[in-house]
Amino acid sequence: MPKIPPSEVRLLTPAQVAEIIAISIDDVMSLVQKGELRGMRVGSPGQWRIEEASVGEYLDAQIELTRRAALWQQSQEASFPELWGTGEVRHDD
């Protein structure tokens, strides 16, 4: 991951992140606590802020997980006769 100069890092509030990815603020904070989103407390008293880049990275990772799950599901639905080229074909793609 390329380093972004501090002046170019954009920080979002948990509410902004929740709106962007359509989940609750509690779910956003849970993702921060689990390390799936990069967040930090800033100011006094500390208020949570999340790096905008980490939101994009999180969404990309979720897309990849979904893609892999779909491929796995497709592989589980394939029948051996289809793979071997003999017997009944269940899916007429």
Q: Give pLDDT tens digits for 2-46.
A: 566 666 789 999 999 999 999 999 999 999 999 999 999 998 888
Integer angstrom CA distances of residue 13 from 34, 41, 57, 85, 93:
17, 10, 17, 55, 46
The pTM of this model reads 0.69
> Exposed, middle or buried, 49 (CB in 10 Å: 0-12/13-18/19+)?
buried
